[in-house]
Amino acid sequence: MMQQEIDTADPALWWKQAVVYQVYPRSFKDSRGSGLGSIAGVTEKIDYLAELGVDAIWLSPFYPSQLADGGYDVDDYRNVDPKLGTMDDFDELARSAHKRGIKVVVDIVPNHSSNLHEWFKAALAAKPGSLERDRYIFRDGKGPNGDQPPTDWIASFGGPAWTRVPDGQWYLHMFTKEQPDWNWKNPEVRADFIKTLRFWLDHGADGFRVDVAHGLAKDLDRDDLESYKVCEHVLPSDGSHPLYDRDEVHDIYREWRKVFNEYNPPAFAVAEAWVNPDRQHLYASTEELGQVFNFEFAKKDWIRDDMHLAIEEGLESAERSGSSATWVMSNHDVPRHASRYGLPQVPASSHHQLAKDWLLRDGTTYEENRELGAKRARAAILMELALPGSTYIYQGEELGLPEVADIPWNKLEDPTAFNSVREQKSKKAVTAAVCRCPGSPQTHRSSMIPMTNSATMVLSVSLLRAPSMIHTYHSRNGTRISPSTWRMPTRIPC
């Protein structure tokens, strides 16, 4: 398959051949001794990131939030959570990163807000049919008293996807009840997100990672809604699902592209779109976001033919979109591959099924060969970085961080854990989540191993040789905790 030549010297195309390092600010680096990471802590470690050779950092949500979903429930889209710092801290991080040639990618969450967002509080205070309510998705209930939800949908994290308010109406939330879905048919919503894009670009952001990019456009004015689910493992290839991957979503991103092109060089975005592989390329169009995550690659275990197919399909999708391929093995939504690769490698009906089962049952069902997993993880990252296109590295991946499967249930800080009890066996598969621990692995200086994809990169992977060299975390009270005894979960897409 012929791959397009990319001019890596063109500053407008930096993202097409980049190594992007995902930072979860709440756990990356504690700069204040509070046990919680901060924006200033990322700035303190910018030289470490520069030594790794990354081209960009992707900042997971750092907005004011009640943390119903680890920060993906946003109270205010144009501010920094005071527990993590200030806007001045963000501006300094952007300056420090740019001084070292590192771009800054901001995580934007356009499918839903927090229920503490000013507009949602206004919606609750307003009457049914008001302009305030039209910014979200409110519906009357079914049944003679309207006391039944509009549909029987189950939310992604368990529990009903509709919550009733005191006046009897119901609002839609595909995730937690603290995350009401925006109504993207509302022009005020569209205009406010344009304002948010410009706000962060004016403060030094170079692009965005778009959360649930395939979920914004919805069609709820139809009679067959209960034929569909919020949690769909396979989406149709014709854009016909009422909640996901509808053709109308691309009108939104074409509006965003006009904003991106106002800047020099133009901004870009990468879509988190768990869609049918036949439709991935639409999000990566040069007239829309520019890039989309190749989750087919992330879904694969250490099975040669499966990985080979995902690579071929990723390259083909990139060619169809006119963009470059993306490669990711781990992030805050999936079990870390250092552990996945150390578990038995057997075909399953859904991705990471065995790893999820292993985590669900506290690591007691299957034997994790951590040494073998580390060797495979080291080989996999060498392969990944040699592939054409952009690579997304999850924080701690360069250290070979594995999962910790036996965190007590009362220590879990994940929306599905909040909605579940042990006896129901409904705990969502959870990840290695250094990313949502209230502390972080201390960074280590280590030998540097040169690797290349089309963009030359140097990445520290020496600790992949020996995960036991990952020493300690710091808890909120300052005690030292072994990583083998503490892991916090994160959310998993269905």
- Mean pLDDT over all residues of the chain? 85
- pLDDT score recorded for residue 234: 87
Q: What does the pLDDT average to over 158-184?
A: 97
Per-residue pLDDT reduced to its tens digit, 331-378: 998 999 999 999 999 888 889 999 999 998 899 999 999 999 999 999
Q: What does the pLDDT average to over 423-448?
A: 35
Q: Which residues contact 356 (CB under 8 A, 6 or more apart)?
A: 335, 429, 492
For the annotated catalytic residues, the residue numbers are 211, 272
Kindly give the pairing relationship between strand 170-172 and strand 138-139.
antiparallel
Q: What does the pLDDT average to over 264-272?
A: 96
- pLDDT score recorded for residue 76: 98
pLDDT at 443 over 90: no
The one-character DSSP state at 11 is G
pLDDT at 465 over 70: no
Q: Give the type of residue at 490.
A: T
When mean pLDDT is compared across 124-128, 213-217, 338-342, 477-481, the lowest value belongs to: 477-481
Alpha helices for 300-369 (secondary structure H): 304-321, 337-340, 353-360
Token pair in block for residue 363:
């690591």
The band of 429, judged by pLDDT with boundaries at 50, 70 and 90, is very low
CB of 375 closer than 8 Å to CB of 337: no
Question: Count of CB atoms within 10 A of residue 279's CB?
Answer: 20
CA geometry: angle at 114 spanning 194 and 220, to 5°?
Answer: 75
The whole-angstrom separation of Cα 387 and Cα 202 is: 33
Burial label, 459 (beta-carbon count in 10 A; 0-12, 13-18, 19+): buried
pLDDT at 153 over 50: yes
pLDDT at 444 over 60: no
Q: What does the pLDDT average to over 122-135?
A: 98
CB of 459 closer than 8 Å to CB of 323: no
The whole-angstrom separation of Cα 46 and Cα 54 is: 10
Q: Please, how many CA atoms are within 13 Å of residue 61, restricted to the half-sphere of its CB?
A: 25
User: pLDDT higher for 410 or 60?
Assistant: 60
With a pLDDT cut of 70, the percent of the chain lying above it is 82
Per-residue pLDDT reduced to its tens digit, 43-91: 999 999 999 999 999 999 999 999 999 999 999 999 999 999 999 999 9
Per-residue pLDDT reduced to its tens digit, 29-43: 999 898 999 999 999
Order of all β-strands in the sheet with 138-139: 138-139, 170-172, 162-164
pLDDT at 285 over 90: yes
pLDDT at 468 over 70: no
pLDDT at 231 over 80: yes
CB of 80 closer than 8 Å to CB of 63: yes
- Rg of the chain, C-alpha, whole Å: 22
- pLDDT score recorded for residue 440: 37
- pLDDT score recorded for residue 142: 96
Per-residue pLDDT reduced to its tens digit, 477-494: 332 223 332 233 333 333
Q: Give the type of residue at 86.
A: T
The whole-angstrom separation of Cα 80 and Cα 75 is: 10
The whole-angstrom separation of Cα 385 and Cα 452 is: 6
Q: What does the pLDDT average to over 219-242?
A: 94
The band of 317, judged by pLDDT with boundaries at 50, 70 and 90, is confident
Name the residue among 454, 327, 458, 385 with its Cα closest to residue 6. Answer: 454
